[in-house]
Amino acid sequence: MTRSIFHQPDPKLDLVLERIVDVPRELVWMAWTTPEHLKKWFTPVPWTTVDCEIDLRPGGIFRTVMRSPEGQEFPSVGCYLEIVNTEKLVWTNVLAPGYRPSRPPAAMPCDTFSFTAVISLEPHGNGTKYAALVIHGDEEARKKHEEMGFHDGWGTALDQLVAVVKKM
Query: Based on CB atoms, which residue is closest to a copy of itself, 55 or 159?
Result: 55
Which H or E element spans position 136? Answer: strand 127-136
**Could you give the C-alpha distances from 90 to 72, 83, 119, 122, in angstroms and in order?**
27, 6, 6, 15
Q: How far is the CB of 63 from a copy of itself (least distance, A)?
A: 15
Strands of the sheet with 61-67, listed across from one edge: 14-21, 127-136, 115-124, 88-92, 73-84, 61-67, 48-54
Q: How far is the CB of 2 from a copy of itself (least distance, A)?
A: 5
Distance (Å, whole) CA 67 – CA 89:
24
107 contacts: CB under 8 Å, gap ≥ 6: none
Q: How far is the CB of 120 from a copy of itself (least distance, A)?
A: 13
Q: How far is the CB of 125 from a copy of itself (least distance, A)?
A: 29
* Partners of 122 in the β-ladder: 129
Query: Based on CB atoms, which residue is closest to a copy of itself, 75 or 97?
Result: 97
Query: Based on CB atoms, which residue is closest to a copy of itself, 17 or 61?
Result: 61
Q: How far is the CB of 3 from a copy of itself (least distance, A)?
A: 6
Query: Based on CB atoms, which residue is closest to a copy of itself, 81 or 158?
Result: 81
Query: Based on CB atoms, which residue is closest to a copy of itself, 117 or 165?
Result: 117
Distance (Å, whole) CA 164 – CA 75:
23
Q: By CB under 8 A, name the binding residues for a copy of itself.
A: 1-5, 7-8, 13, 55-60, 81-83, 90, 92, 94-103, 114-116, 118, 135-138, 141
